Chain A
């Protein structure tokens, strides 16, 4: 009954409200009539009736609370009121919505990336239990290298630590789809691979140890190539022309490795399971046994490594001497790789922006406190409770927050679509980042929390001021000063970070890689099997293609996977005892390589067309190699053995930076491509003044129709991609920093302007008594700068604490680089002076006469 009435009343509340108003009016008129009858004048009667009746509004409000769902009704009413206020102050609303929107948008975007890349990598189920094993060779400064068979064998036996261990190795296959050759990327995996990740097949089954010529399809490939039909199980698929039976389909949620389209069984021969420090191509994934912590597992692996030093196994001892370790890394870290640190940094910066935004909006709202005091005083005297007013004010700021949040979600969606297009290593990973409903909720919650944060201080202050006789402006300014100081500090910290990142970025751009990447187009292709003449034919065809100045074939390309690190020997020389094994990086190139990339020849000759497959094996070394292994000697004519036995060194070329711009590449050995035909793929390089896109593809197609071409990119793009993450981080941190500085400027300006307007009478009086404008100006300048200055000091302290987060991302700049610290502080100070000068000048120009007259 009661509930039903409530619903009825609530749904008819507008009509009821009108009726109630009528009823009260009638009541009042009857009172008036009575008073008139009793002998009052009509005017006296009306006044008496109003007195007797009390506040018409408050009685209606309280009556309304009786029906209706109290809270819902009041919230709706508060919202309506807030909407009116917000519409009447469009600039303030715009500022608040933009500020909150940018902060929330930046945060939501960064958190979406964090979610996919770090927090819940690739959306895999309990990936927290998966560890990745890598090899570290201290003496060679090699870290996180893939492993050999022996590590897989050893980890597999540690059943006390791991419940499943799997190895995987990269594979690419050529497949024919409707007559067109294309390349399929996948992995060969040991049977437990899917069990490590706790996955179940979408259809069919995963591998058993008996599987040989089988294949498991990724969900994407299954949909794209087989229309997502279950009948695909048991069918045969041709990989590299070999029949493979399709035994299963992986679930859509399983997207690891990100580029994998199919998996085949990896069968490791007994010989390979014994190999150590050679053939290091395996990625090992281990699932922690129930109840075993990562630290315990690490301990177990370290015990194994320590045991190697005992004099049982000669080869193992040699490895131990090279500083051999097996590292276990959480799966999340393995996936995120180099993105990890930049992401956390961006997250912190985005939070700083949001925080600064809140502080600015709070300062803006605080500066309105003076203006709204009257309104609040009236409402309080009309019978509103403090709680009601507080609620009303909070609803206003929450509404601002919600609007900002809605805008922020749009910002985040826009930012993500930009981010996923950015060219950086790990781009494929970023393609998986989406803004799901959960993250949108996070963004909105963040916005509402911001609304609460920036609404509370002004609301509390407003209530205090409205309620007390003596106006407590001091406290208001206290709030504002605190905000401004914190804002300046945060802005300075971000700017110092920006400065350091930008300086590193510039320094890196100054680095010359030692070759000329301009106007060089590149693309990889798969070498057709059983076609030994292909390389030579392709070389000829490329060279005669229209517009080509020079061309070459090579494997691998600079700035892709890096050269092949290989052991070698030098004829007639033994390693000194204790000297680590000799390693160099091998590249396999055609005769056009050095001219095409304009790598200077230092001594001897380059690779010539006469270095054919059957000719004696030769090699060319770079200056790094010559200086390291043949100091003060002529390396020409020396022989080294790395691939295919002894090879005579015929020339020395300039060293280039081939994997990153940051570091010099290790000593490099170049072999003629045709003399070491072990690799299934190679790349073509073309120097041409015309766009090379399509040129290589066309030449390859004409040479052999069934050869897939992939990864077509200009050399310059490859280099800039290696800088991509730096650029993204530098640009974003810089943007965040500038936004923060802008917000801090607005905040400081607002505070000083407020103080000036509050104290206008006092200033007028002082000027009337003979104070000079300069004195007034200096007074306000000093006041603003004290808080700005405190902010700068706090910011510098914060920056010198936080710079350690940057250390890994800097290049030839110390994290404590004084130039950056000084110039960032100076810049902030300058802008603060300008922000303060504006209102301070207004104060110094106050006309004492007009002020006194106004008083």
Chain B
């Protein structure tokens, strides 16, 4: 099932990363993947096999909206935009993530 060879992130974090990416600007799937890869210094390579299911999930939940548009290179692409609901969801996920990271950090320091 897992077709991307890079290690999976913590479950659920992909949604958060996508939402976060979209707070900067609306973008298409390829752009989102490239952005995450670039900003993370190539540490996070998103297998597109999981990118598109994640985008569909966000669409169904109403956290992002999509529209067909033209990319910088003049290609017809679907551009995703964050919705108000998506912004709230991102805040929730960031809070949970911080809590989780703090927990992990405490365990690691204690060890």
Contacts and interface: CB of A to CB of B under 8 A. Distances in A.
Please determine whether chains A and B interact with each other in the same assembly: yes
Interface of A: 1-2, 5-6, 9, 19-20, 22-24, 26-27, 29-31, 33, 52-55, 58-60, 62-67, 383, 385
Contact of B53 (A2, A26, A59): A59
**4 nearest A-B residue pairs (beta carbon):** A54-B3, A66-B56, A54-B49, A59-B49
A67 B75 contact: no
Contacts of A20: 52, 56
Q: Is the interface of A mostly helix, strand, loop or mixed?
A: helix
Interface in B74-110: 75-78, 85
B49 A9 contact: no
A61 to B, nearest CB: 9
Contacts of B42: none
Nearest to A1: B62
B10 interface: no
B80 to A, nearest CB: 10
A59 B3 contact: yes
A5 B3 contact: no
Contacts of A27: 28-30, 33, 48
A23 B29 contact: yes
A20 B51 CA distance: 12
Interface string B1-14: 10110000000000
Contacts of A52: 47-48
Given A58-B3, A385-B1, A9 B60 contact: yes
Nearest to B48: A53
B3 A383 contact: yes
B60 A60 contact: no
Nearest to B52: A63
Contact of A9 (B47, B55, B59, B78): B59
B41 interface: no
A800 B60 CA distance: 65
A58 B53 CA distance: 10
Interface of B: 1, 3-4, 28-30, 33, 47-53, 55-57, 59-62, 68, 71, 73, 75-78, 85
Given A26-B75, A27-B48, A60-B52, A2 B62 contact: yes
Given A26-B76, A26-B77, A5 B62 contact: yes
Contact of B56 (A26, A67, A385): A67
A312 B78 CA distance: 106
B9 to A, nearest CB: 16
A19 B80 CA distance: 14
B78 A23 contact: yes
Which of A58, A62, A67 counts the most chain B CB atoms within 10 A?
Answer: A62
Contact of B59 (A24, A55, A64, A67): A67
A19 B78 contact: yes
Contacts of A54: 3-4, 47-49
A6 B60 contact: yes
24 contacts: A2-B61, A5-B59, A5-B62, A19-B78, A22-B76, A23-B77, A24-B48, A26-B30, A26-B75, A26-B76, A26-B77, A27-B29, A27-B30, A27-B33, A54-B49, A58-B49, A59-B49, A59-B50, A62-B49, A62-B53, A66-B57, A67-B59, A383-B1, A383-B3
A797 B34 CA distance: 74
A2 B83 CA distance: 14
A839 B55 CA distance: 56
Contacts of B77: 23, 26
Contacts of B1: 58, 383, 385
Given A2-B61, A54-B3, A29 B75 contact: yes
Which of A20, A53, A55, A67 counts the most chain B CB atoms within 10 A?
Answer: A53
A390 to B, nearest CB: 15
A24 B30 CA distance: 9
Contacts of B59: 5, 9, 66-67
Which of A29, A30, A33, A67 counts the most chain B CB atoms within 10 A?
Answer: A30
Contacts of B29: 23-24, 27
A64 B55 CA distance: 11
Contacts of A1: 62, 85
Which of B1, B28, B68, B85 counts the most chain A CB atoms within 10 A?
Answer: B1
Nearest to A16: B56
Nearest to A23: B78
A184 to B, nearest CB: 71
A29 B59 CA distance: 23
A139 to B, nearest CB: 82
Contacts of B78: 19, 23
A67 B60 contact: yes
A65 B61 contact: no
A19 B59 CA distance: 14
Contacts of A6: 60
A79 B66 CA distance: 31
Given A5-B60, A385-B1, 7 more contacts: A20-B56, A30-B30, A52-B48, A54-B48, A60-B52, A62-B49, A63-B56
Contacts of B50: 59, 62
A702 to B, nearest CB: 88
A384 to B, nearest CB: 9
Nearest to B75: A26
B78 to A, nearest CB: 5
A65 B48 contact: no
Contact of A33 (B4, B51, B57, B73): B73
